[in-house]
Structure 1
């Protein structure tokens, strides 16, 4: 049995995480490691990680979903209205159902009508934001029912967060949904040839991404206490930055790993948090620093992927391996 080699592409996310953490720990005079600040970093990373776990399925297929921010806003606004009108418990199912519908819609359009995911989700970002603003012009901003604010308590929020991440990790790493998604990213034509249901997998991937946006909407609503005009604004860019900062290639495939989403999410949060600690969060320099750091990490990641090759011969999730598995299952 061949031992899997650790490539530079796998090391880059860890190295970036350590460098970013060390830099801001030194620059802030040790305040990065304070218990209060570490708790703040974790709390600020929850939503990004949750949505990133769903978006990873889409990115693994070589697509992207830039509508997660407005999906979060739409599902949050509708769910809050439903909770106030029909009972607080409606907040959870309504948020998840609305977000899932948006995600499945994206998947259907991308897979059946061959619309590029970038163009579709940009259109959704603009169009759905208009719908959210229209709805809020009638119902205004609303508060979450007090009974549902208990969901923001640490003894509920963090266990729920861990359960979601563990389930998504299992689905991505150990089920056909995750393996097929990576196979589609490697080579969609070959994946289809060996029997991968490409259309269905794209719908499932966008559906999961939408569902995670629904969970993020619940976390956001119970944390803030209600809706606002700024719900989900630029959140899609934060999720995309976390995924790519973690070392996942824009082409997806076997470069997609869930641990990279975790590292990328914490890294991007540490950048924002660290800039605040050293007094740059409210200046024109903060966004420039974030962009330059992202460009640097992406540049190193691309170089490492060219050196090691995008797919390894012994990688179990490639289309060729899937075809081999099919042949073994059928027999000679």
Structure 2
């Protein structure tokens, strides 16, 4: 079977289109069901709420897509997000600076912490050839503990007013934070589909040894993929702070599972080598619409968790059959 580096681009694009079309139909089906189930579902306020609620998961899931495409996994993004948030929270509340300087300092600090954590995940996993599942599980605990240590287990608040206003700003009824996440998604799509680096990530997920024998530095490609995931976690931390006006060391618990679920539901294979950030975008929408719709229907937290779990399992089963179709 040809790898993405040698397969016909038109065939790969057709398969991606068919896959995304199926996910889009599933999303449309959910929207129709919840529209009939609740009169409040398609209101302007609720649509704005959905867009706001999926923002952080979308950002984390886009970063996760890079890692899963190479056959890896990143379980640390929720904890890294919390760690980055408290470091950024400490920076944004420093005395003696203007609001603009504090906001820029916080952004640099949060993004830097996230990228460093991702870089460490990538270097350790790639250099020693260790399962990323184990390495990122360790980072999950390290980052969570570091966040609690830096913040003294306390929530940080009292941010500059301009920063708080950014988190609630709307343009034409669309949250600015969602627009930022959408721009990030489009950039990721361009990197994966229009650059050599992106195509080689697909190649590593399909046949790592072939990419290595072709003379490409597989080690650094893996490190960069994990660094992008960490950077996305840092970016999510900034958005989280702007939205909620706090930085909590216990934030982000379980966020990594939602991000992985969005990627899988969006059609990216856990085995690596297949998928797209457009599918991830649709997957994040499915999770967000499902959660919102079930709440409006009055279902309990327990039932919502069960239904979401069923959706994830079904998505994995469908991925199994998609893999068989691609191999045929």
TM-score (normalised: structure 1): 0.86
Whether the 8 Å contact between 2:86 and 2:249 is mirrored in structure 1 is no
1:258 and 2:274 correspond: no
SS in 1 for 2:94: helix
Distance between the aligned counterparts of 2:36 and 2:215, measured in 1? 53
1:202 is aligned to 222
2:116 is aligned to 101
User: Which of these residues, 275, 290, 302, is aligned with residue 320 of structure 2?
Assistant: 302
Distance between the aligned counterparts of 1:159 and 1:308, measured in 2? 33
Distance between the aligned counterparts of 1:195 and 1:16, measured in 2? 41
User: Which of these residues, 33, 37, 43, is aligned with residue 23 of structure 1?
Assistant: 33
- Larger mean CA deviation between 103-112 and 290-299 belongs to 290-299
Q: Report Cα offsets for 1:121-143 as digits up to 9, x if no partner.
A: 11111222122222222665333
Whether the 8 Å contact between 1:143 and 1:227 is mirrored in structure 2 is no
1:271 and 2:290 correspond: yes
Q: Report Cα offsets for 1:163-222 as digits up to 9, x if no partner.
A: 322222211211122111110000111111112211000111111111111111111001
1:111 is aligned to 126
Distance between the aligned counterparts of 1:108 and 1:145, measured in 2? 36
- Larger mean CA deviation between 300-309 and 218-227 belongs to 300-309
Whether the 8 Å contact between 1:246 and 1:261 is mirrored in structure 2 is yes
Structure 2 gap ranges (5+): 1-7
Whether the 8 Å contact between 1:12 and 1:301 is mirrored in structure 2 is no
1:50-69 aligned within 5 A? 50-69=59-78
1:149 and 2:175 correspond: no
Quick one: structure 1 residues 304 and 164, their matched pair in 2 at CA, closer, same or farther if it must change by over 3 Å?
closer
Quick one: structure 1 residues 16 and 138, their matched pair in 2 at CA, closer, same or farther if it must change by over 3 Å?
closer
Alpha carbon RMSD of aligned pairs, Å?
2.1
User: Which of these residues, 80, 90, 107, is aligned with residue 81 of structure 1?
Assistant: 90
Structure 1 gap ranges (5+): 311-332
TM-score (normalised: structure 2): 0.87
Distance between the aligned counterparts of 2:236 and 2:180, measured in 1? 11
Count the aligned residue pairs: 307
Distance between the aligned counterparts of 2:160 and 2:90, measured in 1? 10
- Larger mean CA deviation between 298-307 and 43-52 belongs to 298-307
Aligned-residue offset at 1:230: 3.4
User: Which of these residues, 227, 239, 261, is aligned with residue 241 of structure 1?
Assistant: 261
